[in-house]
Structure 1
């Protein structure tokens, strides 16, 4: 009897899902043929491809379309291919698309209280109160911390070079950026650079690599977001426990500290002491002025902000830095040119790695930009419509709650905007003033009011790490190195390189001697 009811229910759901798949056809919007129940989400649901890979393929298949349809289960989503419409969504009409649509119930998963996941006025309030930690003056003031971490990086790199050992650039760079985030954000020495078994490297995997069980739960969440899955804790609880331990440790150390630190966790602790944060909301009064609002700010909020700072602060930078090392190993002529630039810039500043010397490394910054174009850590971003509205140019009505997909990597690999897009060519960005491309064809950090708050910090720490390594070493391919890389299909939130990036280092025959502690 149970089997009969199950089969009847399955048939009813099957025909219900089929009925849902007329949405895009009725609007004459191009889309791939959907599969019953799964829609276009089959490969992602079963971990066969990443969401970024699927969106990239969809982007390429419809080169003449400004928008393309995508069924995540039975729910329709719009993938936007046109930079002008992307500008409308991310910036011009931001008030209608201010939410990312990634939030889950914070009562079930308190880490969702972070600035990246929060929506509406709560997001604006968090952004306003946390922005001072990422100002230009703060970046300059924390540069000595960056230099200290590059000293440790060079020490480890020298050991690798002298031993002639193959190493994984992804792990080496993660060890460097975790140390840097620990020092600049948490005010503690994580010593990850000298410890391949560091707890924080394990935390990295807990955050970014989904277990088989998590992949199953995320698959259900994608297909049936309003089902029982809303009440299930999907993320690993160990992550919050570890961050709470860090918070408790730092707080106890600073209780009687007469010299308060000027770091990210100190800002959070000060806000936590007040217990509330205030500022403008996204709602307006009768005169069009933004209303003031206030909200509680407790330990759950502090832990959630530390979680997103740790997550965004180290992995995006380490991925870009390791990918740049990989590319330079396969392009020695570009590597030699940027080494000459680094040597020249350091010589102008008494052979010291400093904020000013790194800021003058034009080619190095172009290399970072090109790596962010080819393999952006965030392969796509999304927005949710907060009201019924119409997308410009295509005159398509968007209902409240509809998700808009921005395929960042797909756009940045489009030959319409970048000649020979698969080619590693950092100097392509030198010609932007002569041949301007649409601003929204290159958005590795997003754009508009919700652009990544730490974009400049991430770029700066990546450049500093690369400058320190390239000044002392040549980056070489190893027997295990391959030109082509593949994303890890179990990765969560950002793109992870599958299998790592095996490389070798050798000491440069002639290099500048950096006089602030480098061996």
Structure 2
């Protein structure tokens, strides 16, 4: 029976239109804010704001923000909208410095947030953490990633590099290999052994449990993409609806893996000088001795208790973030080197020269000698920054330096890393892959805050040294044994995966590996 009109179908249509109208009014209630504040802005679309292409999986988030950046030339900042949330994209490098460094205390927190009850391993890890608790935990964990600690883990990484070469020798069919999957296997094994002292088994076993679980963490679907977008740009939605990003069975696998490893080590007095050992020190002693201050201990953060899911969460983020970012960087680097024979040749000559001085062995100090290798990796991260934007939230009202623009408390600032990396003012012909951009002379000529693949300031990526180490070790082993070239199915140009919030290739990348005799 109809409620308002003679037709039930018409009633339902009117109700649906009414609901859509209410949703539109609610989601567009903030769309006039930038005009009121006198900020130039990009006109938003209904419901999704300026993220329509991201939500509908047409473009990667980094590309969308890069396009806004490049279209807003000569503007120090520009207003955008993520769903109903107004966000300020800062373009001016002085503003970038103010947000990331100079006025960091007012921009300490990221906007990203998940539901604590439903998604504790994401909520409690250092990347997601906010406020004083983040500061205290960051202080506790910083000694874990010193150069001295990395040097002690180096042998574990090097062994995985050797296994990577063995894998290529066995698995490549007629010299052709799926690079994205292979690099993910390598970094899975590196992180598994450095984080847990376990054999990730990804290079030797196609049914590796570690590999399967990490794929679950990083593979994106339409629904998961919306959930991650909401975590970054509309976090209240996840809290209100009690939604989770990490599947509960994956979280339970992490808990069992971590605590079984901890129990075994403590029962058998096993010491491996890896990430888990250092977390156990923090759990039991309250601190890790810092290699950089002659073994003295900073106890200012001893009020932070690292146990339960707080403990597991740090292992989880080290595992998930460490494997994905490095495998992606390796994939993009090998892709570019396959197309740039002269660059690949120059890099191989440097690698072979340093290896000869070290009796053919890959050493920690030898890696530091490879100047051109560092330039190659830096150029990859310039062209393909894995996290293509940074987000920060104002903790209190803030007036932008040199302007009358005032941000409200909780207003979100976005720094378009990929946009800055593709600005021809800083990087002429930005689409061209050129490691010489990172010669000492060229770096001196560029302004600060034009290279941000790891962020900058107090919240710079804490695992940067680890990520660079495993990336460089993998490249050294591969390029000292193989020549890399494109195959008939290698995409040129490369396509970015619109489903992933981290920069990644669309589909796998086939490359040819020819053994060097």
Tell which deviates more after alignment, 199-208 or 316-325. Answer: 199-208
User: What is the aligned partner in structure 1 of residue 252 from structure 2?
Assistant: 241
Closer/same/farther in 2, CA of residues 16 and 247 from structure 1, 3 Å limit: closer
User: What is the aligned partner in structure 2 of residue 128 from structure 1?
Assistant: 139
Cα offsets for 1:119-162 (capped at 9, x unmatched):
0111111111111211111111111112111111111122245x
Asked if residue 301 in structure 1 is aligned to residue 310 in structure 2, the reply is: yes
Closer/same/farther in 2, CA of residues 158 and 368 from structure 1, 3 Å limit: same
Asked if residue 402 in structure 1 is aligned to residue 414 in structure 2, the reply is: no
User: What does 1:423-502 align with in structure 2 at a 5 Å threshold?
Assistant: 423-432=432-441, 435-492=444-501, 494-502=502-510
CA distance in 2 between partners of 1:86 and 1:228 (Å):
29
Within the candidate set 189, 207, 212, 2:199 is matched to: 189
Asked if residue 419 in structure 1 is aligned to residue 428 in structure 2, the reply is: yes
CA distance in 1 between partners of 2:232 and 2:417 (Å):
20
TM-score by length of 1: 0.90
Asked if residue 206 in structure 1 is aligned to residue 216 in structure 2, the reply is: yes
Cα distance, 1:46 vs. partner? 2.4
CA distance in 1 between partners of 2:189 and 2:257 (Å):
14
Asked if residue 258 in structure 1 is aligned to residue 269 in structure 2, the reply is: yes
Tell which deviates more after alignment, 446-455 or 342-351. Answer: 342-351
Cα distance, 1:28 vs. partner? 2.9
Closer/same/farther in 2, CA of residues 434 and 330 from structure 1, 3 Å limit: closer
Q: Is the 8 A contact 1:24 1:31 kept in 2?
A: yes
Structure 2: unaligned runs, 5 residues or longer: 4-10, 289-298
Within the candidate set 74, 92, 116, 2:127 is matched to: 116
User: What is the aligned partner in structure 1 of residue 514 from structure 2?
Assistant: 506
Asked if residue 215 in structure 1 is aligned to residue 225 in structure 2, the reply is: yes
User: What is the aligned partner in structure 2 of residue 283 from structure 1?
Assistant: none
Asked if residue 166 in structure 1 is aligned to residue 210 in structure 2, the reply is: no
Q: Is the 8 A contact 1:97 1:386 kept in 2?
A: yes
TM-score by length of 2: 0.90
CA distance in 2 between partners of 1:149 and 1:331 (Å):
26
User: What is the aligned partner in structure 1 of residue 346 from structure 2?
Assistant: 337
CA distance in 1 between partners of 2:135 and 2:154 (Å):
28
CA distance in 2 between partners of 1:166 and 1:434 (Å):
37
Q: Is the 8 A contact 1:72 1:222 kept in 2?
A: no
Closer/same/farther in 2, CA of residues 277 and 364 from structure 1, 3 Å limit: closer
CA distance in 2 between partners of 1:12 and 1:151 (Å):
60
CA distance in 1 between partners of 2:466 and 2:300 (Å):
31
Cα distance, 1:273 vs. partner? 4.1
Cα distance, 1:427 vs. partner? 1.0
Cα distance, 1:193 vs. partner? 1.3
User: What is the aligned partner in structure 2 of residue 152 from structure 1?
Assistant: 163
Cα distance, 1:5 vs. partner? 5.0
Q: Is the 8 A contact 2:231 2:238 kept in 1?
A: no
Q: Is the 8 A contact 1:277 1:296 kept in 2?
A: no
CA distance in 1 between partners of 2:437 and 2:229 (Å):
39
Closer/same/farther in 2, CA of residues 17 and 465 from structure 1, 3 Å limit: closer
Q: Please give the secondary structure, in 2, of the residue aligned with 1:194.
A: coil
User: What does 1:270-349 align with in structure 2 at a 5 Å threshold?
Assistant: 270-273=281-284, 294-349=303-358
CA distance in 1 between partners of 2:27 and 2:463 (Å):
41
Tell which deviates more after alignment, 38-47 or 127-136. Answer: 38-47
Cα distance, 1:255 vs. partner? 3.3
Within the candidate set 375, 379, 396, 1:366 is matched to: 375
Q: Is the 8 A contact 2:72 2:78 kept in 1?
A: yes
Q: Please give the secondary structure, in 2, of the residue aligned with 1:141.
A: helix
User: What is the aligned partner in structure 1 of residue 402 from structure 2?
Assistant: 393
CA distance in 2 between partners of 1:346 and 1:484 (Å):
33
Tell which deviates more after alignment, 455-464 or 190-199. Answer: 190-199
Within the candidate set 81, 92, 96, 2:102 is matched to: 92
Q: Is the 8 A contact 2:238 2:244 kept in 1?
A: no
Q: Please give the secondary structure, in 1, of the residue aligned with 2:267.
A: coil
Q: Please give the secondary structure, in 2, of the residue aligned with 1:504.
A: strand
Closer/same/farther in 2, CA of residues 215 and 339 from structure 1, 3 Å limit: closer
Cα distance, 1:393 vs. partner? 3.0
User: What does 1:377-392 align with in structure 2 at a 5 Å threshold?
Assistant: 377-392=386-401
Q: Is the 8 A contact 2:140 2:301 kept in 1?
A: no
Q: Is the 8 A contact 1:103 1:119 kept in 2?
A: no
Q: Please give the secondary structure, in 2, of the residue aligned with 1:255.
A: helix
Cα distance, 1:169 vs. partner? 1.1
Q: Is the 8 A contact 1:475 1:503 kept in 2?
A: yes
CA distance in 2 between partners of 1:411 and 1:224 (Å):
25
